Amino acid sequence: MQTKKLKTLDPSQSHLWIIGGGIAGMAAAAFAIRDAQVPAQNIHILEELDVSGGSMDGGHNPLNPNHAWVTRGGRMLTDETYLCTWDLFSSIPSLEDPNISVREECREFNEKIKTHAQARLIDANHVIAEAEKLGLSTLNRAQMLRLLALKEDRIGSRRIDEFFDDAFFQSNFWRMWRTTFAFQKWHSAAELRRYFLRFIQELPRIHTLAGVKRTKYNQYDSMIYPLQRWLVEQGVDVRFGTYVTDADFVEDDQSKERKASKLYLNLPEGTEQIVLSEHDLALFTLGSITADSRYGGQHDVPALIRDRQDHGWRLWETLAQKAPDFGRPMTFNGNIDEHKWKSFTLTLHDDVLLKRIIEYTGNEPGTGALMTWFESGWHLSIVVPAQPHFADLPEGKFTLWGYGFEIDHIGDYIKKPMSEATGQEIVIELIQQLGFDDILDHVLAHSDISTVMMPYASALFACRKAGDRPLLIPENAANFAFLGQFVELEDDVVFTVEYSVRGAMLAIYQLLGVNREVPEIYNGLLDPKVGLKALETVFH
């Protein structure tokens, strides 16, 4: 796709100030070096935490670093939808072999480990359901087609459950779609429509998730660390423990051109003000779905933080007061109880549980994708990834990841909400949902669990209207852009690495006049074979 070129700045003289060291900011830095020829030493990434990657984490539980590993979440990638992501990582050497790219490593890995879930849905009696039977009624199909036919401005800020009847939410289709992509029925109908369009090619294989591609390890080890290493090797200035509290903007009275003119920084040793010169750029990451995350372990419960102690949201709240088109953060962070998640990573110190799961499902680690107990009180799901899932995991140890979708509901075996359950209580609930009561004591004695409470995990799915998310590059902005999951990108879907990377690519290409096309957004409906296959699946 052709990008709109703005007034071109001189890349050789530009300093890029990138606020936020998540994947969006890191991708912007990489595109600036690779495609805009900005000198790497002129690129400055400012990150509040002591580690890069934002929500794409993976490592040791800070509460139990010697025995427990943890990721807050995981990413399922696809070949068709993640075109900007693959474009970026085709240029980044992989973690363990500098002679192949991250993209090549991922392709080779997925040629060996192919996803084909055989236990996608499990009922209350531990019976694997026939997930290929979607259970959609004629009315449900009509409701889906109606949503697809509507323009986004007609949908507005309406919820998903305003478009479907109760039967739809009891269908196998919804049970799989919601847990694959993390939708609740009170989320944005406009975003669900975008997902239907962006992932229509996955519809015929939603019960096996055969279109899913994975990284060799977790996404920090396989994507973030190699990208950070490459950026640092190029000479990028990465400053940890540093965050921006405010920014000044100026507007030309005649042209109405707007520029960021000054950044206000908080550093470990004090404060600093950065005055932006004629050719400098400022790229602001807005919001964070993992801000105020808190960790737990075996015998404690992670706290739910409600007063925005991290600065991922505070900067956007400050900037939003400066111009009406800088977005409305309260739309997304104003209802924690609708968007909070609790996830867990179970570190196994032997293979007893792993062997039982393999025997039960017929899936080797890495091939089964999601398993969901669709009738469980907490609506539990787990993933058993290919092992090891962490690059530094010792031989003989294994991990699995899971989350609850109804964490304020009472468990079936642990009679309390998941939000109030300790790590060991979550293990007990999981093992009994599996029906593996005979090895419960063994698993408890030979595992360590890490839990994470995330107040804003699905905030990006909040019902929204035009203007709630600012444009990537606001009107008349000459030297600044907004990045991340809370900016407006036409037709693309949030809660994906692709959204952050595409936004970064567009921002760099437009602000610095890069003469290279951004990959088009994949639209399966334009391929008759894909469209027909999807229709056959829905109407089967």
Q: What is the mean pLDDT of residues 495-521?
A: 97
The answer to whether position 393 is within a domain reads no
- What is the mean predicted confidence (pLDDT) over 36-57? 96
Query: With 80 as the cut, is the pLDDT of residue 5 above it?
Result: no
| pLDDT band, residue 525 (cuts 50/70/90) | confident
Domain closes at, from 155, 176, 211: 211
Whether residue 61 lies inside any domain: the answer is no
Nearest to 265 by CA among 281, 251, 245: 245
Question: What would the pLDDT profile of 333-356 be if each residue is shown by its tens digit?
Answer: 999 999 999 999 999 999 999 999
d(CA 182, CA 494): 11
pLDDT of residue 9: 73
Look at residue 535 in the predicted model and tell me its pLDDT.
83
Do 232 and 253 fall into the same domain? Answer: yes
Six token digits for residue 368: 């089964």
Question: Which pLDDT belongs to residue 405?
Answer: 93
Residues 225 and 326 in one domain: yes
Confidence of residue 539 (pLDDT cuts 50, 70, 90): confident
317 and 222 in one domain? yes
CATH of the domain at 83: 3.50.50.60
323: alpha, beta or left? (left if phi > 0; alpha if psi -120 to 50): beta
Structure tokens that stand for 59 in this block:
């490592």
pLDDT over threshold 80, residue 1: no
Q: Are both 91 and 224 inside the same structural domain?
A: yes
* Span 455-489, pLDDT tens digits: 999 999 999 999 999 999 999 999 999 999 999 99
Percentage of the residues of the chain whose pLDDT score is greater than 70 = 99
Average pLDDT over residues 238-263: 97
**Is the model's pLDDT at 523 over the cut of 90?**
no
- Asked if the model's pLDDT at residue 6 lies above 70, the reply is no
- Of 409, 407, 447, 417, residue with least CA distance to 431: 447
* Residue 257 confidence (pLDDT) above 60: yes
Q: Are residues 168 and 300 in the same domain?
A: no
Last residue of a domain, one of 157, 179, 211: 211
pLDDT at 2 over 60: no
Number of domains in the chain: 2
Structural domain of 139:
122-211
Identify whether 315 is part of a domain.
Answer: yes
Predicted TM-score of the model (pTM): 0.97
3-class DSSP state for residue 509?
helix
Listed in sequence order, the DSSP H helices in 306-422 are 314-320, 330-333, 336-339, 352-361
What is the average pLDDT across 245-273?
A: 96
Q: Is 539 domain-assigned? A: no
Same domain, 475 and 506: yes
Predicted local confidence at residue 19, as pLDDT: 98
For residues 395 and 200, give the distance between their C-alpha atoms in angstroms, rounded to a whole number.
39
Task: Give the chain's mean pLDDT.
Answer: 96
Name the CA radius of gyration of the chain, rounded.
23
Residue 11 has pLDDT above 90, yes or no: no
Task: Identify which of 172, 142, 251 has the alpha carbon closest to the alpha carbon of residue 539.
Answer: 142
